[in-house]
Structure 1
Amino acid sequence: MVFDLDGTLVDSVADIHAATNRMLHEVALQPLDLATVRGFIGHGVPRLVAQVMETRAVTPARHDEMVRVFLRHYRAAPADLTDVIQDVPAALEELRREGHALGVCTNKPGELARAVLDRLGLACHFSAVLGGDEVPVAKPDPAPLIETVSRLGGGPAIYVGDSEVDADTARRADVPFLLYTEGYRKRPVEELPAAATFDSFAALPSLVRRVLKH
């Protein structure tokens, strides 16, 4: 089984928002509100920074510079304001007891993904963690998910995520998708292709059993 990270296992928008505004402050630009930054999450840091730059009419020539500034601030505090989604640890433990190998496939840089998982006590659950900067392409290209499944040993897989990007990734990889409905998606639940949806991780283990059975 493979999971997305931001908006699925952890609520990280506050730390991403803080790093964004520290970046903007450093280059003498006005801050953005949390809802705006939340809408930029999902495609990885380079895309997020590009969208932030568009809102502040910054020349694209400064993109690499601003990505470096953002990452410096995010690395300094990757999980200070980030919370584990309720019931995630218990659900992961139950899935592992049932014999599932667990992995994370995220567009967040791998170094930051592992730092967040480690600091929040979740790293022990995962045999593979693949970040968006560790493969040539990012989600929704299916290659990162396919690679993560391969690192877990292959075989039947399920992808658990919270967004349009995750749904499209699973579809393109031909992997059943389970949608956590309380994350960072932008479109209505019914518009996202999913084998099933859930709003509490307490329900996930039984849902996984049901999906695998069919």
Structure 2
Amino acid sequence: MSPGRGAVVFDLDGTLIDSAPDIQQAANAVLAAEGLPPITAEETRRFIGNGAGVFVARMMAAAGRDPEPAAHARLLSGFLARYESAVHLTRVYPGVGGALAALRAAGHRLAICTNKPVAPARAVLAHLGLAPVFEAVVGGDSLPVRKPDPAPLLQAVGELGAIPAVYVGDSEVDAETAARAGLPFALYTEGYRKTPVDALPHDARFDSFAALPGLVDRLMPRTA
């Protein structure tokens, strides 16, 4: 394979997009319907990363409600009903468009691997005009397991032809997923991570998407 040809798989929330304002709005609408207090923007960012079910359990606990199964199922249903249309406050991080264009121009194939359910993931990508860029989208409900299990990431790479790959993410979950999948990991430092950068395993770090194409070129495994 020639240099520059490979798969670049991205996490979504906190990596390519700042979706926390929409997620907070959806969460607080559900909590208000239950007569529960809202969660803050900081709590929202802290609760993102392990899928919708875990997010709802965390928001319930923060609001002082025991996330027992019946209540959790009801609030999760209400949250998911709002989640797919929760796109209007979400913004793409600066430089993402240029970086994606440069990666594609270099011959890379792009995919998404997120713990966000696949329908909301596709909805927000379409709303932001990013859907045509990605050849595969693997969500938190695409497989029986989700990140940090490596299966979703390996599924995304497989859908692109099982070519050499790099994973790009922003969180502890992403770092563990890449390590378990045996893939190089590029850490976006301006996302939703809770751990200091130096405490997260990564092969490269960046705070500006202008740097990403060069990092990918350096990290991408070479084949004969």
TM-score interval (norm. to shorter): over 0.9
Matches within 5 A, 1:20-169: 20-55=27-62, 56-61=64-69, 62-75=71-84, 77-169=85-177
CA 1:113–1:81 in 2, change beyond 3 Å: closer, same or farther? same
TM-score (norm 1): 0.97
CA apart distance, 1:71: 1.1
Paired residue for 2:5? Answer: none
Deviations 1:157-202 (A, max 9, x none): 1000000000000000000000000000000000111110000001
Q: 1:210 aligns with which of 213, 218, 222?
A: 218
Paired residue for 1:170? Answer: 178
Runs of 4+ in structure 1 deviating by more than 6 angstroms, as ranges, are none
8 A contact 2:164–2:221 mirrored in 1: no
CA 1:109–1:172 in 2, change beyond 3 Å: closer, same or farther? same
Aligned positions, number: 213
8 A contact 2:171–2:194 mirrored in 1: yes
Structure 1 gap ranges (5+) = none
CA apart distance, 1:73: 1.9
CA apart distance, 1:54: 1.6
CA 1:164–1:59 in 2, change beyond 3 Å: closer, same or farther? closer
Q: 1:192 aligns with which of 190, 194, 200?
A: 200
Deviations 1:34-61 (A, max 9, x none): 1111110000100000111122223412
Q: Specify the code of the residue in structure 2 equivalent to 1:104.
A: I
Percent identical: 53
Q: Specify the code of the residue in structure 2 equivalent to 1:18.
A: Q
Using the alignment, how far apart are the partners of 1:38 and 1:153 within structure 2? 33
Using the alignment, how far apart are the partners of 2:221 and 2:141 within structure 1? 35
Using the alignment, how far apart are the partners of 2:203 and 2:23 within structure 1? 30
Paired residue for 1:4? Answer: 11
Structure number with the bigger relative contact order (C-alpha 8 A, sep ≥ 6) is 2
Q: CA RMSD in A?
A: 1.1
For 2:165, what is the secondary structure of its paired residue?
Answer: coil
Structure 2 gap ranges (5+) = 1-7
